[in-house]
Amino acid sequence: MYYGFDIGGSKIELTVFDAGLTPVWNIRVATPREDYDALLHTLAALTAQADSLSGAAGKIGVGVPGLQSGEDGALFTANLPATMGRPLRRDLSQLLRREVRIANDASCFALSEAWNPACRAYPVVLGIILGTGMGGGLVVNGRLVSGRNGMTGEFGHLRLPVDALEILGRDIPRVACGCGQYGCIENYLSGRGFEWLYQHFYHEQVAAPQLIERYRAADERASEHVGRYVAALAVCLGNLLTLFDPDLLVLGGGLSNFSELYTLLPEKLPAALLPVARLPRIEKARYGDAGGVRGAALLHLMDE
């Protein structure tokens, strides 16, 4: 059996999968955000439940909202204080007496999508989450590319490129980011950024679903806003497509439900690419919220 953990700021989700990636058991509990020992105890207790159900010690993969670096795998998890600076992989492996694999939750999302039966034929899959933040992952020939510092896929922390500044205005505020930098693209292009841009230009706070409703009702401001947002998103995605040249681009997160993106982006992207470039296939994520646990379980299965 394969156990996929998705640790978030408010909940921990565990799904047990069989060898065919069919989910057989699922549970969600509150995350001990501030207490590392309590977090370890919670993960160990959930694992014991899963082992009892499975009748064996399953293989464990964990998705976390952050990065692991250094020889001991110390985590950088700004939104999960309990694990900040802690070697969770090492400590959990020792506690459970088996190998535990850990990856960024957005990378787990990308891995899950790349392993969909309909996507296995694509050698290079790029997954992008447009949610509260903006992140993603890169999968090549079915294997996650993590990089030396586990940073591959932290696309939201690239800074606004010059072409995006031409679209948004060179005087656009360089918004402070949780990573310590200014002008990171996730503050403008995530779901949260989609709302921020509208408020910046029109001085009205409107939630993304309502903005989309206004756009579909042909509201002038909403139409102008979506055009500006898509143009900036296309510029930033164009840089990623030029760098990684994927066969498939998968969008996840709340804004992936904005169905018009799949028509608007292919119209705007060619201008951001080299003249010889062909657009990759662009699709909406298939697994929704379940992608994190599924991808975490795949951290073991991808090597078998």
Is 177 a known ligand-binding residue?
Answer: yes
Is 273 a known ligand-binding residue?
Answer: no
Distance CA(119)–CA(123), nearest Å, equals 9
Is 140 a known ligand-binding residue?
Answer: yes
Is 139 a known ligand-binding residue?
Answer: yes
CA dihedral 187, 173, 180, 132 (to 10 degrees): -10
| Burial annotation 190-225 (CB, 10 A radius, 16+ → b, else e) | bbbbbbbbbebeeeeebebeebbebbeeeeeebeeb
The answer to whether the CB of 23 falls within 8 A of the CB of 54 is no
Is 11 a known ligand-binding residue?
Answer: yes
Residues 6+ positions from 107 with CB-CB distance below 8 Å: 63, 136, 137, 144, 146, 152, 153, 295
Is 136 a known ligand-binding residue?
Answer: yes
Is 138 a known ligand-binding residue?
Answer: yes
Strands 143-145 and 74-76: unpaired
Residues 6+ positions from 147 with CB-CB distance below 8 Å: none
Is 155 a known ligand-binding residue?
Answer: no
Is 190 a known ligand-binding residue?
Answer: no
Is 4 a known ligand-binding residue?
Answer: yes
Is 180 a known ligand-binding residue?
Answer: no
Is 179 a known ligand-binding residue?
Answer: yes
Is 238 a known ligand-binding residue?
Answer: no
Is 134 a known ligand-binding residue?
Answer: yes
H-helix segments, the chain: 36-54, 88-96, 105-114, 162-168, 186-189, 191-202, 208-216, 220-244, 261-268, 291-301
Is 184 a known ligand-binding residue?
Answer: yes
Is 178 a known ligand-binding residue?
Answer: no
What sign has the CA pseudo-torsion 11, 294, 108, 303?
positive
The answer to whether the CB of 205 falls within 8 A of the CB of 199 is yes
Known binding-site residues equal 4-11, 133-140, 157, 177, 179, 184
Known binding-site residues for ATP equal 4-11, 133-140
Known binding-site residues for Zn(2+) equal 157, 177, 179, 184
